[in-house]
Amino acid sequence: MSVSFTPENQKRFEKIIAKYETKASALLPTLWLAQEQFGFLSSEAMDYVAGLLEMPPAHVYEAVTFYVMFKRKDMGKYCLQICNNITCQMMGSEKLIQVAKDELKINFNEVTEDKMFSLVPVQCLGSCDTAPVVQVNEEYCEDLTPEKFKELIHRLRSGKASERPGLSCQ
Ligand code: FES
């Protein structure tokens, strides 16, 4: 399957590379743009980015495998990243994990059959003062309780949450 940016994203890509002295320096924002459009970074998408930036595909693969924010497979519409580091653990993340597993009927690193949700364990999200924290796609949902988290999952599933789910955590 061949992949390419939409005309709109092609313009965004051109604006990105204009900010850097070399095309290779634009690797991370270009990958971010590719992930936004394609949903995840398949081999085809990584090869496409390598071609755009005129760099060896191996360099792109290295970056994608190094940074956890890049997805290498379809993680569904909502990727729930649950922080289970020490502060979040002390503030109840284990209960959030149980809520997610009960509600979604999946384990970590799995995707629901309807491709709505995936569940990923992560280390400290850098927001310990608002623990426990779950990152929903790019949005942080903070100070969660099991009840609030369950309600959020229901809203996301029903389509009643906004497209910016973090805002729905308030
Ligand atoms: S331990 Fe969870 S945000 Fe820091």
Say what the pLDDT of residue 5 is.
Answer: 97
How many angstroms separate the alpha carbon of residue 23 from the centre of ligand 1? 35
31-50 confidence digits (pLDDT tens): 999 999 998 999 999 999 99
Categorize the per-residue pLDDT at 107 as very low, low, confident or very high, splitting at 50, 70 and 90. very high
How many angstroms separate the alpha carbon of residue 79 from the centre of ligand 1? 17
- Atom nearest to 127 CA in ligand 1: 3
Strand spans (E) along 10-144: 78-83, 117-122, 134-136, 139-141
- Atom nearest to 130 CA in ligand 1: 3
* Residue 57 contacts residue 46 (beta carbons within 8 Å): yes
- Ligand 1, pocket-test mutation among 90, 133, 135, 144, most atoms within 8 A of CB: 133
pLDDT at 166 over 60: no
- b/e map 84-111, b = 16+ CB within 10 Å: bbebbeebebeebbebbeebbebeeebb
Categorize the per-residue pLDDT at 164 as very low, low, confident or very high, splitting at 50, 70 and 90. low
Say what the pLDDT of residue 162 is.
Answer: 63
Categorize the per-residue pLDDT at 83 as very low, low, confident or very high, splitting at 50, 70 and 90. very high
Rounded average pLDDT over 58-73 = 93
Query: What is the rounded CA–CA span in Å between residue 138 and residue 148?
Result: 18
pLDDT at 169 over 70: no
Say what the pLDDT of residue 136 is.
Answer: 94
Phi and psi at 119, nearest 5°, equal -130, 125
Rg (CA), the chain: 18
- Whether ligand 1 lies within 6 angstroms of the CB of 122 is answered as no
Let me know if 30 is exposed, middle or buried by CB neighbors in 10 A (0-12, 13-18, 19+): buried
pLDDT at 104 over 60: yes
* Distance from the first to the final alpha carbon of the chain: 41
